């Protein structure tokens, strides 16, 4: 379906890539796919100890003395689907379609993040006509859930002077810095108590939120399903004395949660008032989030009355801890206009069968502030008896606006498009900061086409923007100095 769209080779490679299941931490199939691709071209192909793949290609004729360039993208993608979408990510290729100027997927993430970058590099590696300096293609693993590929890439494998990271989502932006992050996980056990006699069971659902990337879109004020569910549970507990039986909200740390479901019990005498309460709160939330989350729905439906619920003391502690947990923007940068400096995403809340897990992703471009916020969250959940741990910490990428690669790419953008690019830092986690720890002399810049709704089933990529980005990338390769 995409093979008739220009640039044809890029879209063909993207289609082939999207036939390969590639969730984070389960990349064996896509690693094998890329290794075979490199070997089929007769190019030196290396798989390192953790699964990163490096493919090297000599310069095209006349460019042998140019500086070596590393083209870098990550192989994994976020696997997210709508609640009513039947799809097996472990077995099925992404079901894509074209709508106007956009490529989309039916009810799932598209994988344009970072599949367009991977497909671009594949197309350059196999081309016999594209002019380029000596190339090192670096395909990393597990970018979306820990950046372990970048973290474990050893020094000495790459010789490049410059790195073009093809992993941003706005074709007017040149990114030269990013936030670091740390996973904060609270776990624990609790005792159940019997549901009160004469109670009725209900399933409360918060659905239809916009969601999105917890870094790139955290500043847009979109609803967080876990925070909204906790708000409803807190108020329902205070008003009706509901007993919470289970909570299941959100999924991945780097996705703003779109859905949450909780099973509760309420005294049968309060059934009518409880449903009126839910309908009233539905109207309130719709009004509050009509701009950012127009499809938000709060709903309650009867279920078989559960037999057990959280004990009253723990229920109160948990609800208060979730209420107090920081979520969204914590601090804006005082130095860079409109840059979120520090934030937290309350990504996952699972409370079931005597155990609970709460997962957050805390980001900041200032490492000390990142850890300060992480410690605040740790303290919050320790107050309800949780065991809290930190994992997957990775550094930010310090901007170097005066580097020669930034000047080259910025001047080229102005030349081609008669306007200045937006040279910025972003609040997402990019691999450049991590890779720079072992390759400190390598100059780096990140860019890409317009991708919207990354990390959500609304993800889409703009066809005309891919064409613009592709032309810019190819021209940049021609301009790389000696």
- Between 143-147, 186-190, 246-250, 460-464, the lowest mean confidence (pLDDT) is in 143-147
Main-chain dihedrals φ then ψ at residue 390, nearest 5 degrees: -110, 145
pLDDT at 272 over 90: yes
Higher pLDDT among residues 17 and 147, named by residue: 17
Query: For residue 313, what pLDDT is reported?
Result: 97
pLDDT at 61 over 90: yes
pLDDT at 1 over 80: no
Q: What is the DSSP letter of 66?
A: S
pLDDT band at 398 (very low <50, low <70, confident <90, very high): confident
Helix axes 8-17, 463-479, angle to 10 degrees: 110
How many CA atoms are closer than 13 Å to the CA of 17, on its beta-carbon side? 32
At the topology level of CATH, where does 182-394 sit? Alpha-Beta Plaits (3.30.70)
- For 98-109, the pLDDT digits (tens) are 999 999 999 999
pLDDT band at 355 (very low <50, low <70, confident <90, very high): very high
Domains of the chain by residue range: 8-178+396-479, 182-394
- Between 48-62, 75-89, 102-116, 120-134, the lowest mean confidence (pLDDT) is in 75-89
d(CA 449, CA 315): 46
pLDDT band at 435 (very low <50, low <70, confident <90, very high): very high
Positive or negative torsion for Cα 397, 402, 405, 406:
positive
**Positions marked active-site:** 76, 143
Q: Report in angstroms the alpha-carbon separations of 202 from 197, 246, 355, 439.
A: 15, 11, 21, 55
CATH of domain 8-178+396-479: 3.40.630.10
Considering the entire predicted model, what is its pTM? 0.77
Measured from the Cβ of residue 481, the count of other Cβ atoms closer than 10 Å reads: 12
pLDDT band at 297 (very low <50, low <70, confident <90, very high): very high
d(CA 13, CA 8): 9
DSSP strand pairing (45-47 vs 53-57) = antiparallel
Measured from the Cβ of residue 420, the count of other Cβ atoms closer than 10 Å reads: 12
Query: For residue 264, what pLDDT is reported?
Result: 98
Query: For residue 146, what pLDDT is reported?
Result: 82
Measured from the Cβ of residue 197, the count of other Cβ atoms closer than 10 Å reads: 8
- For 303-341, the pLDDT digits (tens) are 999 999 999 999 999 999 999 999 999 999 998 888 999
pLDDT above 70 covers what percent of the chain? 100
Positive or negative torsion for Cα 386, 389, 392, 393:
positive
pLDDT band at 428 (very low <50, low <70, confident <90, very high): confident
């Amino acid at each position: 379906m995409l093979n008739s769209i220009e640039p044809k080779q890029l879209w063909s490679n993207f289609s082939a890539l999207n036939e390969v299941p590639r969730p984070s931490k389960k990349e064996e199939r896509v690693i094998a796919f890329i290794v075979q691709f490199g070997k089929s071209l007769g190019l030196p192909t290396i798989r390192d100890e953790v699964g990163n793949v490096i493919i090297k290609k000599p310069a095209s004729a006349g460019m042998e003395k140019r500086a070596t360039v590393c083209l870098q993208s990550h192989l994994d993608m976020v696997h997210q689907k709508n609640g009513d979408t039947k799809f097996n990510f472990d077995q099925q290729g992404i079901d894509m379609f074209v709508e106007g100027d956009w490529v989309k997927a039916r009810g799932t993430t598209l994988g344009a993040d970072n599949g367009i970058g991977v497909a671009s590099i594949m197309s350059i590696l196999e081309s016999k006509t594209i002019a380029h300096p000596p190339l090192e293609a670096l395909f990393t693993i597990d970018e979306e859930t820990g950046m372990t590929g970048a973290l474990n890439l050893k020094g000495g494998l790459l010789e490049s002077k410059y790195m073009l990271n093809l992993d941003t989502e706005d074709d007017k932006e040149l990114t030269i810095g990013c936030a670091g992050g740390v996973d904060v996980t609270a776990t624990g056990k609790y005792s159940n108590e019997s549901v009160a006699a004469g109670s009725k069971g209900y399933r409360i659902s918060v659905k239809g939120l916009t969601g999105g990337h917890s870094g790139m879109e955290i500043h847009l004020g979109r609803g967080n399903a876990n925070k909204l569910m906790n708000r409803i549970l807190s108020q329902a507990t205070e008003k009706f004395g509901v007993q919470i039986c289970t909570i299941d909200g959100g999924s991945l740390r780097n996705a703003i949660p779109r859905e949450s479901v909780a099973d509760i019990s309420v005294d049968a005498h309060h059934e009518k008032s409880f449903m009126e309460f839910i309908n009233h709160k539905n109207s309130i939330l719709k009004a509050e989030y009509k701009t950012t989350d127009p499809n938000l729905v709060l709903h309650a439906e009867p279920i078989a009355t559960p037999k057990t619920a959280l004990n009253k003391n723990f229920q109160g502690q948990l609800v208060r801890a979730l209420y107090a947990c920081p979520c969204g923007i914590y601090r804006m940068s005082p130095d860079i206009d409109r840059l979120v400096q520090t934030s937290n995403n309350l990504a996952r809340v699972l409370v079931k069968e005597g155990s609970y897990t709460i997962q957050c992703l805390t980001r900041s471009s200032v490492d000390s502030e990142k850890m300060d916020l992480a410690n605040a969250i740790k303290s919050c959940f320790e107050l309800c008896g949780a065991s809290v741990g930190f994992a997957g910490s990775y550094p930010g990428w310090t901007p170097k606006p005066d580097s020669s690669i930034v000047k080259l790419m910025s001047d080229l953008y102005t030349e081609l498009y008669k306007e200045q690019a937006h040279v910025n830092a972003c609040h997402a986690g990019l691999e450049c900061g991590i890779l720079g720890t072992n390759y400190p002399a390598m100059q780096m810049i990140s860019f890409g086409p317009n991708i919207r709704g990354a990390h959500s089933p609304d993800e889409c990529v703009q066809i005309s923007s891919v064409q613009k980005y592709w032309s810019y990338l190819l021209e940049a390769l021609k301009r790389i100095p000696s």
